[in-house]
């Protein structure tokens, strides 16, 4: 047998799963058709952000702690704060009441003067709701760092060729599919086609003389995220990570969108929130897909009805915010041969129940 476990996908989820499996003394090979962090893990907005979902909050908190251990000083000690921007007081108060169900977020309503004092780049008439979350990191560095730890723990990486699932199942003890948006195709009919689908993000990388202090997010967007795709809208975010300063991203389902179409739409809306964006120098536009599960929570565990085959995918817009802790959870379950170690809201057993397929509210 080639190794105890083969993992398809060297994104943050595959690399973390590999590291924790090796910690359990298992031999592990990670295969990726491109390279480490070549998918969404190396090209996202780099914000480690609360999930605003009670069923994944503990996973997020564990993930923040793990990132601190892996990244050291490259993981900020404190969140920069996510400032949700809205046009009026009533909506700001409504958001604060909504996020008040997570006391750790300490939501604070800011009138336009207070918002401007907190964030001098803002238009002078925006209301804000400030949440205690948001750790900006470089997503590619984070993925590479986890991969380096995995390598040091004995994990083997085979990069540059597509994985052959059937061959891997014949030659390895267990196989994990952590292939991001490639998970459905890699599993080739073994899960429903709608179980993990691409949610497309277009982002525009810009240069500004002054950078924002906080993660700036159009207020209604965080609620939209829980519902999944937002079609035909270019929602505003301005996120500053060690990798880049990015406007956007979109949350589009369906076919791959064109950067040339969506980049200008994102830039058109930006100055309403941050006037200096009208003069920003545009570096480039990136298009990349999030692996979204049918109910917007990770899918971790055995592929239903299949022996020795596991799935670790569906992290949507929160892979950087949950991926390490997901890898730890999956590795515990695989090494113990006990999928009951995975809490029900995250378990791949959800794939068995058609009733569980509706998007949650
Ligand atoms: C624009 C954008 C912004 C985002 N911003 C944030 C953010 O700020 N914070 C946050 O927490 N999350 C964010 N995300 C989400 C996050 O990037 C993803 O949830 C996360 O990267 C998913 O990790 P993964 O390991 O599951 O998949 P991926 O990183 O996509 O890795 C999958 C890997 O599998 C490989 N692969 C696929 N098929 C095969 C095959 N058949 N054979 C071999 N290899 C294969 C691919 O090459 C790829 O390297 C964002 C995503 C996007 C698109």
Most ligand 1 atoms within 8 A of CB, residue of 41, 49, 79, 134 to mutate = 41
Q: How far is CA 334 from the centre of its chain?
A: 23
Residues with CB under 6 A from ligand 1: 8-14, 31-34, 38-41, 44-47, 49, 162-163, 178-180, 182, 186, 201, 203, 249, 288-291, 313, 315-321, 323
Are residues 305 and 183 located together in one domain of the fold? yes
| CATH number of the domain bearing residue 222 | 3.30.9.10
Residue 222 pLDDT:
63
Boundary (domain end) residue, out of 242, 267, 293: 293
Boundary (domain end) residue, out of 277, 293, 309: 293
Which residue lies with its CA nearest to atom 50 of ligand 1? 44
Are residues 48 and 113 located together in one domain of the fold? no
In the reported structure, the alpha carbon of residue 322 is separated from the centroid of ligand 1 by a whole-number distance in angstroms of 12
Residue 114 pLDDT:
98
pTM: 0.96
Report residues of the chain scoring pLDDT below 70.
Answer: 1, 222-228, 354-361
Which residue lies with its CA nearest to atom 44 of ligand 1? 32
Are residues 278 and 206 located together in one domain of the fold? yes
Residue 25 pLDDT:
98
Residue 281 pLDDT:
97
Are residues 201 and 262 located together in one domain of the fold? yes
Residue 359 pLDDT:
41
Are residues 230 and 350 located together in one domain of the fold? no
* In-domain check, residue 43: yes
Domains of the chain: total:
2
CA distance 319 to 323: 5
On whether the CB atoms of residues 127 and 145 are closer than 8 A, the answer is: no
Boundary (domain end) residue, out of 276, 293, 310: 293
Residue 11 pLDDT:
98
Interior CA angle at 47 toward 43 and 53, to 5°?
115
* In-domain check, residue 74: no
Ligand 1, atom nearest to 181 Cα: 30
Residue 355 pLDDT:
40
Residue 246 pLDDT:
97
Residue 231 pLDDT:
77
Are residues 174 and 322 located together in one domain of the fold? yes
Q: Residue 360 in 3-state DSSP? A: coil
CA distance 20 to 199: 28
């Amino acid at each position: 047998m080639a190794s105890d476990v083969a993992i398809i996908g060297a994104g943050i989820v595959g690399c973390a799963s590999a590291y924790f499996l090796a910690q359990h003394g298992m031999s592990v090979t990670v295969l990726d058709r491109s390279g480490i962090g070549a998918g969404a893990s190396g090209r996202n907005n780099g914000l480690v952000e609360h999930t605003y979902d009670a069923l994944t909050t503990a996973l997020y908190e564990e993930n923040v702690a793990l990132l601190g251990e892996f990244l050291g000083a490259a993981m900020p000690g404190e969140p920069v704060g996510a400032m949700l921007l809205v046009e009026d007081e009533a909506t700001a108060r409504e958001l604060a009441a909504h996020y008040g169900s997570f006391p750790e977020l300490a939501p604070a309503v800011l009138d336009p003067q207070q918002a401007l004092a907190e964030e001098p780049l803002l238009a002078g008439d925006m209301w804000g709701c400030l949440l205690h979350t948001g750790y900006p990191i470089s997503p590619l560095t984070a993925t590479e760092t986890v991969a380096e730890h995995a390598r040091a723990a004995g994990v083997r990486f085979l990069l540059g060729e597509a994985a052959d699932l059937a061959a891997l199942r014949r030659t390895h003890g267990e196989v994990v599919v952590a292939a991001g948006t490639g998970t459905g195709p890699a599993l080739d009919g073994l899960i429903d086609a709608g179980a993990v689908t691409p949610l497309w993000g277009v982002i525009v990388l810009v240069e500004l003389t002054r950078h924002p202090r906080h993660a700036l997010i159009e207020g209604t967007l965080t609620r939209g995220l829980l519902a999944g795709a937002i079609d035909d809208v270019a929602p505003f975010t301005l996120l500053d990570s060690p990798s880049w300063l990015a406007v956007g991203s979109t949350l589009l389902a369906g076919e791959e969108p064109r950067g040339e179409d969506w980049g200008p739409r994102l830039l058109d809306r930006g100055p309403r929130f941050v006037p200096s964006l009208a003069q920003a120098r545009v570096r480039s536009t990136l298009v990349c897909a999030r692996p979204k599960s049918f109910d917007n929570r990770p899918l971790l565990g055995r592929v239903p009805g299949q022996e020795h085959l596991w799935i670790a995918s569906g992290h949507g817009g929160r892979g950087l915010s949950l991926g390490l802790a997901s890898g730890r959870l999956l590795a515990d379950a695989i090494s113990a041969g006990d999928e009951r170690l995975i809490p029900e809201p995250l378990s791949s057993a959800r794939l068995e129940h058609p009733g569980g397929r509706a998007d949650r509210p």
